[in-house]
Chains A and B, each alone.
Chain A
Amino acid sequence: MALKGAEIMKRLPKTNCKECGYATCFAFAMKLATGGAKLEDCPYLAPEVKVELEAAMAPPIKRVTIGVGETALVIGEEEVMFRHEKTFFHEPGIAILISDKENDSDIEKKIKDIKELHFERIGKELKINLLALSFESGDKTKFETLVKKAYETTDFALILICNNIDVLLSAAALCADRKPLVYPITKENIDLAIPKLKELRTPAGVKGESIEEIVSLTSTLKEAGVEEIVLDPGSKNLKEGIRDQTFIRRAALKKGFRPLGYPTITFPCFMYQDKFKEALAAAAFITKYAGIIVISQVDKHFLFPLLVQRFNIYTDPRRPMTVEEKVYEISKPNEYSPILISTNYALDFFIVSGAIEEANIPAYLCIKDTGGIGVMAAWTSGKFNGEAIADFFKKYGIENKVKHRKLIIPGVAKKLKDELEEELPDWEIIFGPLEGSDIPKFLSEGWKE
């Protein structure tokens, strides 16, 4: 729970010595509360007060890192229940389940397929984050072979899933420097697990049959010095999952309840046989608070929509996805090339510019700053109406760029045409197609120099 400045103030020396660099203790306290200053800056803070304040000022949901290096997954440190209140920070990790019961060649193919998956959206790579290796064979050697294979032939972060604690811990030792998530730590095995978890310094995936049960487990782990914890409240389906995820996040954020202040793991792969339902459950957990989502599918047609959804939901709503306002010259246009205009909403830009490139007709693409909102919303709010576009024309000297007087506007902007005919009387205003995919055809058939 973030502490308020006034509460921090109570614990400070109140001498206003200024050695922290602030005029008063109160100013320092306010700065601490918003994360702009560090406790270390106060030389007179009693050590026990420092420890206490540090604990109280820690993020309500702990940051947990699974894996190492570039492929490490960082989750936790979320601050809100609803993304419009601020933003969601750390995208949940998508893990793909591999069982040691599958035969060697299937496993090999699966790993190869996963490695070859490559998705991109608006210049950003969309990644599968983890391999979840599951002990189902009952054969320790088989499990260890699988773990070694994943460890040696890929650089994915790993989750080890094994109900036999001895097998689990010895497998963890095989890949400890990869910092795998060791799962499940339960009330039955926790005492056995603690010494090894501390020795290997790997994060612990705690599983209970209920939230109450995981509360006592995380408290025990914390006392023993195991700090990196991921929670599984044992939800069996979508509805239980939404309930449990909501309770855990609320308890952490709104009640400052530390024993639940950790990211979570969910298992759509065990909830649903039907892969479509599994995908929908995964989508629901992306939306509602999971830190890790384990799924069974490698098929790109299942993974891609999920990864795009994760990308969308974790986009920062405080910063609309935009591109720069300017006149983009695509494929070296000349003074007879067509002129199109659209908003600086990143998706509109990528659709239209991609389509122009596809048509292979050089063109000027005018991108008007609309604060990252699309055509209709921007029109409604006056950022993409006749007047705004006429100003844009003046600002960028469009009239001097071409010899013709034809402007192509988005097909959806029905009322914009009339407005523009008034604002830009010399210009012929032409509706572009309604769908981006029709732009190539429109340009190649319709554009006469």
Chain B
Amino acid sequence: MKYEAPLEKYPVNIREAVLGKGEKAIKIGGENTFPFHFFEGSLPDPPGLALEVLDIQPENWSHWVLEPFQDVVSDPVSWAKKCVDVFGAEILCLRLLSTDPMGKDASPKQAAVIAKKVADAIDVPLIVWGTGTEEKDSRVLTEVARLCSGKNLLLGPALKGNYEEIAQIALEHGHAIVAQASMDVNLTKELNIALCKFFPPEKIVLDTTSSALGYGLEYTFSIIENVKQIGLINRDNMMQMPILADFGGECWRSKEAKESKEQGILWEAITGITFLLAGANLLILRHPDTLKLIKEMISEKK
């Protein structure tokens, strides 16, 4: 029997989203094949790898992941700069935890000022993340969008209950958004359809929400893989946005990651490589060693 390499071609591309502005802007997505399938398609943009910055001092962070940021945790601007200058982060994700209505409940204005300071201090793309509280987030992200007008931030999460406000303000001020629907292919699609009625699809990144290794990794893996398959093979243009996986925090919260530094890094990195293999285009990571490891692994020569 004669062997012929069973190549598969898909006649569509995942949309390419641009994050940030200027020289350091990053493109994600754009592929017309499955992850790592360089042998049968094109993957123009390597996955984006972001490091987290919090706007308040982290609580309950494991020693291993606090260690690299020990000197900067009290100031988001220094924290952000260290991520870029020392750890080589090409994207940052600022979490506005101060705005949590169950916590400090800082005002949208206060949070937006911090976001602006961080955005001004760095030249890499910035993701600005709320607390997942729909009503508060839409006020917070509205302020952020206004104050950082034109910076092409990636704002999230836009949820079923607040996507209209967030998308509208993002549109007005030239930002992209993360559309989040929890662990369900149909909900993801519904949200995209609703958004695309007035918002440009190339400015949307999908988040199906992420679980850590040992805590539901397989659900996230299969949903990302399924969304990607529906986009590429079924050519569903409501499922062709680049996909975000946000799991660094989930990983480091586990008792297993806290057990040792090596196990913690691997907990996060194995979760990351698994989601990359499923088709994630953008990862939010917590430990700089994980960033370095995954980056080296995916940029190795063919």
Contacts and interface: CB of A to CB of B under 8 A. Distances in A.
A309 B222 contact: no
B108 to A, nearest CB: 18
B222 A304 contact: no
B197 interface: no
B293 A276 contact: yes
B214 A308 contact: yes
Contact of B266 (A238, A301, A347, A377): A301
A278 B300 CA distance: 13
A254 B6 CA distance: 8
A82 B3 contact: no
B3 A215 contact: yes
A251 B6 contact: yes
Contacts of A381: 184
Contact of B265 (A215, A276, A312): A276
Interface string A77-101: 0000011100000000000000000
Contact of B277 (A84, A219, A284, A380): A284
Interface stretch (B23-31, B115-123, B254-262): B254-262
A309 B3 CA distance: 33
B273 A302 contact: no
Given A239-B36, A247-B5, A317-B218, A305 B213 contact: yes
Contacts of A414: 102, 132-133
Contact of A259 (B3, B184, B217, B269): B3
Given A238-B36, A287-B277, A312-B213, A277 B297 contact: yes
A186 to B, nearest CB: 17
B110 interface: no
- Counting chain A CB atoms within 10 Å of each CB, the highest count among B216, B222, B267 belongs to B216
Interface string A365-398: 0000000011011001100000000000000000
B3 A84 contact: no
B38 interface: yes
Interface in B253-302: 253, 255-256, 259-260, 262-263, 265-267, 269-270, 273-274, 277, 293-294, 296-297, 300, 302
Interface in B41-79: 60
A255 B222 contact: no
A243 B37 contact: yes
A279 B273 CA distance: 10
Contacts of A83: 218, 221-222, 225
B133 to A, nearest CB: 6
A232 to B, nearest CB: 16
Interface string A54-77: 000000000000000000000000
A301 B300 contact: no
Interface residues of B, number: 52
A315 interface: yes
Interface string A269-287: 0000000110111011001
- Counting chain B CB atoms within 10 Å of each CB, the highest count among A251, A302, A380 belongs to A380
Nearest to B302: A239
Nearest to B277: A287
Contacts of B226: 82, 84
Contacts of B259: 301
A431 to B, nearest CB: 8
- Counting chain A CB atoms within 10 Å of each CB, the highest count among B5, B38, B218, B260 belongs to B218
A317 B274 contact: no
Contacts of A315: 218
- Counting chain A CB atoms within 10 Å of each CB, the highest count among B183, B209, B260, B270 belongs to B270
B249 to A, nearest CB: 11
A306 interface: yes
A302 B262 contact: yes
A211 B302 CA distance: 17
B260 A301 contact: yes
Given A239-B302, A260-B3, A304-B256, A280 B293 contact: yes
B172 to A, nearest CB: 28
B60 A347 contact: no
A258 B2 CA distance: 11
A198 interface: no
A26 interface: no
Interface string A111-135: 0000000000100000000000000
A3 interface: no
B106 interface: no
A377 B184 CA distance: 8
B182 interface: yes
B10 interface: no
A308 B102 CA distance: 34
Interface string B201-219: 0000000010101111110
A405 interface: no
B60 A309 contact: no
B196 interface: no
A305 B266 contact: yes
Contact of A309 (B211, B223, B265, B274): B274
B1 interface: yes
B229 interface: yes
A407 B66 CA distance: 34
A322 interface: no
Nearest to A351: B215
A84 B267 CA distance: 23
Nearest to A306: B270
Contact of A308 (B39, B213, B225, B229): B213
Nearest to B60: A435
Interface in B219-263: 221-223, 225-226, 229, 253, 255-256, 259-260, 262-263
Contacts of A239: 36, 38, 300, 302
Given A288-B277, A347-B215, A219 B6 contact: no
18 contacts: A82-B226, A82-B229, A215-B3, A247-B6, A257-B3, A281-B297, A283-B270, A301-B260, A304-B263, A305-B213, A308-B214, A317-B218, A374-B183, A377-B182, A377-B183, A380-B184, A414-B133, A431-B102
Interface of B: 1, 3, 5-6, 8, 36-39, 60, 102, 132-133, 182-184, 187, 209, 211, 213-218, 221-223, 225-226, 229, 253, 255-256, 259-260, 262-263, 265-267, 269-270, 273-274, 277, 293-294, 296-297, 300, 302
Interface of A: 82-84, 121, 211-212, 215, 219, 237-240, 242-243, 246-247, 250-251, 254-255, 257-260, 276-277, 279-281, 283-284, 287-288, 299, 301-302, 304-306, 308-309, 312-313, 315, 317, 345, 347, 373-374, 376-377, 380-381, 414, 431, 435, 437-438
